[in-house]
Amino acid sequence: MDNSTRITFTKRPIPIPAEYRPLYKIAQLLQVLYLSSRGKKASLLKLHLFSWAFKSKKNMQKLESYIKSPAAIDLRLWGLEPSLNRALVYAISDNLCRYEKGNYVLTNLGEEFIELIYSDNDILKEQRVFLNTIGKSVTEKLVNNISKSWKS
């Protein structure tokens, strides 16, 4: 290849939507551990379920409806996103949570981080209200029951 046909790339800054930023995802997953998980721990599937729910009001309403009446709502599939997995890697490396016996567990530092976020009532407000509304009703058993219905 001669120099006249050479391809070059110029790196330019581009905005990244908040839902794909690691810090935003870290805050989401930590608040699930903090508000909606027994023992402040959750499986990867449960964290992905909540991540899917946080994508829209419709998804949050669908999950809330499913909790109230599982037979009436078809909630077989939800999205699994690499951005959540990446956020978990960062959260663990920053000691905000740890992986233990198949679950992600909130650390004291992670709890302090969430409490700092919650000191501003406007940050993650919609998600916080949703998590306070459903409480700890999304159990690992419920998540496993939903995932058992995944068939090709």
pLDDT greater at residue 1 or residue 7? 7
Please state the rounded mean pLDDT for residues 113-134.
94
pLDDT greater at residue 4 or residue 131? 131
Whole-number Å distance between alpha carbons of 23 and 11: 23
The two structure tokens encoding residue 68: 């109230």
* Mean confidence (pLDDT) of the chain: 87
Among left, alpha and beta (phi > 0; psi -120 to 50; other), residue 9 is beta
Q: Which residues pair with 138 in a beta bridge?
A: none
Q: What percent of the chain is predicted at pLDDT more than 90?
A: 63
Torsion of CA 38, 34, 135, 69, to 10 degrees: -70
pLDDT in tens, 51-99: 999 999 999 998 998 888 877 666 666 778 888 999 999 999 999 999 9
pTM for the full predicted model? 0.85
Please state the rounded mean pLDDT for residues 35-48.
96
Order of strands, sheet of 41-42, starting from the edge strand that comes earlier in the sequence:
41-42, 103-106, 97-100
* Domain spans, the chain: 16-148
State how far Cα 152 lies from the chain centre: 25
Angle at 135 between CA 131 and CA 136, to 5 degrees: 120
pLDDT greater at residue 10 or residue 33? 33
